[in-house]
Chains A and B, each alone.
Chain A
Amino acid sequence: MKLSVNGKSHDVDVENDMPLLWVLRDELGITGVKYGCGIAQCGACTVHIDGQAVRSCQIAAGEVEDAEITTIEGLGQPEALHAVQSAWIEHQVAQCGYCQSGQIMQAASFLQLNDEPTDEDIDFAMSANLCRCGTYPRIREAVKTAAKTLRGA
């Protein structure tokens, strides 16, 4: 089947029901997307499908053949960072960093829908993403900074 990831089209030979997560990681070598739980409890595997944040461990490859898939690698790179990534760097959010691809993808998609979030909005949007290192206070600050940048842009 054909998958379009970060603007590039890939031919993959996988079962229809293989979760997108494992197609990305093991077949295409795109490892910014992480495996944490496999059951939609942690958010480490968050990618965008047509701009919307989804858990790639819950999406079968066959369901997204015609969709545009974006991973953290496609969101922004060091030379051209997305506003959310810049905010994450400015606030030094990451500890181990393993959850942060998912956190950033979640925040980017949520801020696109709502760039003037209240504290409650942030709590609501970001609470399905686990961080075992406990970087939550910095995630909150970084989301606010990113929102400000996005509003200004």
Chain B
Amino acid sequence: MGKLGTIARRTFLIGSVAVAGGVAFGYYMYKRPAANPLLEELGEGETALTEYVRISSDGITLITPRADKGQGVYSMQAALIAEELDVELEQVTVDPGPPSPAYYNTALSEEAAPFRSTDDGFAAESVRSVMDVLMKFLGMQITGGSTSAPDGYQKLRIAGAVARETLKKAASQKTGVAVADLTTEGGAVLLPDGTSLSYIDLAPMAAQIEPVTEVSLRDPSTWRLIGQPMQRVDIVDKSTGRLVYGIDHKVEGMLHAAVKLNPAQGGEMSAIDGSEAEKMRGVVKVVPVKGGVGVIADNTWRAMQAAEAVKFETGPSPFPASMDDHWSALEASFVEDAVDSRQRDEGDTAARLEGAEVFEAEYRAPYLAHAPLEPVSAIVQVQDDRVDVWTGTQIPRFVQSNVADLTGMDIEKVHVHVFMMGGSFGHRLEDEVVKQATQLAMAVKGKPVKLTYSREEDMMHDFTRQIAMARMKGTVKDGKVETLDLGIAMPSVVVSQMGRQGFPVPGPDLQIVAGAWEQPYRIPNYRVTGYRAPQLAPISSWRSVGASSNGFFHDCALDELIHAAGADPMEERLRLMWHDASRKTLEAVAEMSNWGSDLGANRGRGVAFVMSFGVPTAEVVEVTNTPDGIKIDKVYVAAEVGRVIDPLNFDNLVKGGVVWGLGHAMNCEITYTDGVADQTNYHAFEAMRLYQCPEIEVRGLENSDKIRGIGEPPVPPAAAALANAIYAATGQRIREMPFNKHIDFV
């Protein structure tokens, strides 16, 4: 408490400055970044109005710094700017912009702060604002944690408004017409007599004057774009093969490369013999790289063939030899010494479990690969006075500094060009491929080298989703859930991930209990304990991170107790839930699924609720138990995001999240034997295919005043709702992912 007091006091100062900035008066203050990165790279005749709008004689470019991995954030960010700037999306070009601290991610701190997202109290808000300053300081230009919507929602609209008002000011000076008499539309300022002055013509003048920095934002009732279904800016290119992903990019004179990494995770290859490989057609050079060996050639396939021809000795993996050993390490972590956090401890759980009839269960979730369909790749060109990197990444600033370290080049001379990504799901929060490509490029200085991972390397050397285990104890009384005691053990994702970037992470890791400890239920005796397991195989953020395993654990544990109490799964969840916006998501799926109606023979219905990333999400899954196995018939989803920025993209993302959650729960795991991944390609890691895909009905709710992202929250409840539905249909309780270890699917 003492520590919190200090933090809160310090924050108060920062907080009051922010308030004095004008928010209290309905005006928004545009805070200019320390340095506008666009100014450094402006070409002849180009103007930057804020760090988000660039205008040249050729047209208007909107800068959308959150990277697009398929979630449509280029479009979303562009729409937020365009709404206030008064341009049509068809009129503008969208550019992710250079890596810069000016594009720090404000919303990440929300999740990093140790408060439940339902906590709006002073202490929680204060600490969040301190974290915000910290993030700005670190210049965390990161895409992740479903933060792009909350991060950009105000910032980008303000930037659009600032650019618009500055253009109006320029028009007023030019024509002598008062600003108040000017309007804007379709990329132009309109005079009262109907004369139209295009932004493009006004931009050079606007660049010369003092920008307008105090703006008011438009009332939602007047929005043209936000809340409407939008055509994605890249949809035509993606449907005609014209979109250039990182893997497709070409640089003049480029060579192609492949790697063969030490098959055992974390081990180093030795006795590398590339003599056979070097004789193969098209091969330029065999080069040792971090964790293995690379081959540079004139064609990717030739490089891949040659990489397979390199002889070497496999260095042993420092990680446990068998999966049994991995699981034993988790089992051994359920001890007081390993307690990482116990942020939820209500009632007297320990006392209640004494002597009562106690229900117990144990749950498991395996390592999982990210396996986006586009394997990782990077092009690097090292020259005397600069280094260029072309790649799809969620962490451009880390990439920049890591490449600077490797090449000994000043960081300003490392230019990172970010590309559209063919999926990521957290995969591109790592940058091994860039480091290896840099080593290869250094070996043929001057020449650009494109390193493309084979699917096998991509899958076998993924930094996977955490392995996790949970133990539940509970009691019921008078048809109600009375005690829920959940312990969760896993290694720390944050320590593993940030450790690779050289950052130590002290203190508890709330991802160990995310998706469990902060659920908005009131249960008389309710305890959630996180146990820190030792670091095993290297792990990383996987779509919905800790909640991807914990949502399953927590919700299924609750479901088991509800059934033990003889209560209705929907009604008992609603009875226990105190948070209004969360209740509404359950009520919505109850209505959508006609909960309580008769489904007929061999069918079952399961509900799950998980709040993650601040988004209460409820799902109902319906299944049929057929002679060939479980068939998933239908899924209903309701999620609370404050504001649905684009209903069409929202629908698409939610469905994708459900497919992701269900597919991996059905049939995916990564297992290691002597550190070597047993799954090497999609044949052994299928997830969901089209014929298995249920009908999915989606509803976005807007009852809260907090804007939230939807990339991850639909994932955690999916597995839980499926397990609960299978129980309802078959009486079989599945407590381990993947479920196909215990039951067949059609």
Instruction: Contact check, B241 vs A71: say whether CB atoms are below 8 A apart.
Output: yes
Kindly provide the distance from the CB of A83 to the nearest chain B CB, expressed in whole angstroms: 12
Kindly provide the distance from the CB of B462 to the nearest chain A CB, expressed in whole angstroms: 13
* Contacts A26-B299, A92-B648, A97-B243 given; does A134 touch B658 at CB 8 Å: yes
Q: Which residues of B contact A34 (CB under 8 A)?
A: 247, 373-374, 422
A95 to B463, CA, bound (A): 23
Q: Which residues of A contact B72 (CB under 8 A)?
A: 95
* Cross-chain contact of A131 among B241, B373, B691 (Cβ < 8 A): B373
Q: Which residues of B contact A135 (CB under 8 A)?
A: 652, 655-656
Interface presence of A77 (CB below 8 A) = yes
* Cross-chain contact of A89 among B235, B241, B373, B687 (Cβ < 8 A): B235
* Cross-chain contact of B691 among A37, A39, A71, A123 (Cβ < 8 A): A123
Kindly provide the distance from the CB of B469 to the nearest chain A CB, expressed in whole angstroms: 26
How many of chain B's residues touch chain A, expressed as a range? 35 or more
Interface presence of B695 (CB below 8 A) = yes
Interface presence of A110 (CB below 8 A) = no
Interface presence of B597 (CB below 8 A) = no
* Contacts A32-B242, A95-B70 given; does A127 touch B689 at CB 8 Å: yes
* Contacts A34-B422, A36-B455, A133-B70 given; does A94 touch B235 at CB 8 Å: yes
Kindly provide the distance from the CB of B567 to the nearest chain A CB, expressed in whole angstroms: 33
* Cross-chain contact of B240 among A27, A44, A78, A138 (Cβ < 8 A): A78
A34 to B238, CA, bound (A): 12
Kindly provide the distance from the CB of A30 to the nearest chain B CB, expressed in whole angstroms: 8
Instruction: Contact check, B373 vs A130: say whether CB atoms are below 8 A apart.
Output: yes
Instruction: Contact check, A85 vs B682: say whether CB atoms are below 8 A apart.
Output: no
* Cross-chain contact of B69 among A29, A33, A96, A140 (Cβ < 8 A): A96
Instruction: Contact check, A31 vs B244: say whether CB atoms are below 8 A apart.
Output: yes
* Contacts A36-B455, A132-B687 given; does A41 touch B681 at CB 8 Å: yes
Grouping DSSP codes into helix (H, G, I), strand (E, B) and loop, the A interface class, with mixed when no group exceeds half, is: loop
Across the interface, name the chain B residue whose C-beta is closest to A140: B690
Instruction: Contact check, A72 vs B241: say whether CB atoms are below 8 A apart.
Output: yes
Q: Which residues of B contact A100 (CB under 8 A)?
A: 238-239
* Contacts A96-B423, A131-B373, A132-B371 given; does A41 touch B682 at CB 8 Å: yes
A130 to B454, CA, bound (A): 17
Per-residue contact bits, chain A 109-146, to B (CB 8 Å; 1 contact, 0 not): 00000000000001110111111111111111000000
Across the interface, name the chain B residue whose C-beta is closest to A86: B239
Per-residue contact bits, chain A 88-112, to B (CB 8 Å; 1 contact, 0 not): 1100111111111100100000000
A18 to B301, CA, bound (A): 7
Across the interface, name the chain A residue whose C-beta is closest to B238: A97
Instruction: Contact check, B660 vs A134: say whether CB atoms are below 8 A apart.
Output: yes
A136 to B658, CA, bound (A): 11
* Contacts A96-B423, A98-B374, A134-B688 given; does A76 touch B240 at CB 8 Å: yes
Kindly provide the distance from the CB of A137 to the nearest chain B CB, expressed in whole angstroms: 5
A22 to B238, CA, bound (A): 20
State which residues 10-61 of A face B: CB under 8 Å: 14-15, 18-19, 21-22, 25-27, 29, 31-39, 41-42, 44
Q: Which residues of B contact A78 (CB under 8 A)?
A: 236, 240, 242
* Cross-chain contact of B421 among A96, A129, A134 (Cβ < 8 A): A96
A131 to B740, CA, bound (A): 20
Instruction: Contact check, A130 vs B682: say whether CB atoms are below 8 A apart.
Output: yes
Interface presence of B425 (CB below 8 A) = yes
Instruction: Contact check, A26 vs B659: say whether CB atoms are below 8 A apart.
Output: no
Kindly provide the distance from the CB of B336 to the nearest chain A CB, expressed in whole angstroms: 41
Q: Which residues of A contact B247 (CB under 8 A)?
A: 31, 34-35
* Contacts A127-B689, A130-B689, A132-B372 given; does A138 touch B652 at CB 8 Å: yes
* Contacts A77-B240, A104-B239, A132-B423 given; does A95 touch B653 at CB 8 Å: yes
Interface presence of B530 (CB below 8 A) = no
Kindly provide the distance from the CB of B670 to the nearest chain A CB, expressed in whole angstroms: 15
Interface presence of B742 (CB below 8 A) = no
Instruction: Contact check, B373 vs A134: say whether CB atoms are below 8 A apart.
Output: no
Instruction: Contact check, A33 vs B373: say whether CB atoms are below 8 A apart.
Output: no
Across the interface, name the chain B residue whose C-beta is closest to A27: B299
Kindly provide the distance from the CB of A135 to the nearest chain B CB, expressed in whole angstroms: 7
Kindly provide the distance from the CB of B141 to the nearest chain A CB, expressed in whole angstroms: 20
Instruction: Contact check, B372 vs A98: say whether CB atoms are below 8 A apart.
Output: yes
Instruction: Contact check, A72 vs B240: say whether CB atoms are below 8 A apart.
Output: yes
State which residues 435-491 of B face A: CB under 8 Å: 452, 454-455
* Cross-chain contact of B301 among A19, A36, A37, A138 (Cβ < 8 A): A19
Instruction: Contact check, B681 vs A39: say whether CB atoms are below 8 A apart.
Output: yes
Instruction: Contact check, A98 vs B681: say whether CB atoms are below 8 A apart.
Output: no
Per-residue contact bits, chain B 243-276, to A (CB 8 Å; 1 contact, 0 not): 1110110100000100000000000000000000
9 interchain pairs, CB-CB under 8 A: A18-B301, A26-B300, A95-B71, A127-B689, A130-B373, A134-B657, A136-B655, A137-B695, A140-B693
Given A98-B423, A136-B693, output 8 extra A-B contacts at Cβ < 8 Å: A27-B299, A31-B247, A34-B247, A35-B300, A95-B653, A96-B374, A123-B691, A131-B373
By a beta-carbon cutoff of 8 Å, the part of chain A in contact with chain B is: 14-15, 18-19, 21-22, 25-27, 29, 31-39, 41-42, 44, 71-73, 76-78, 81, 85, 88-89, 92-101, 104, 122-124, 126-140
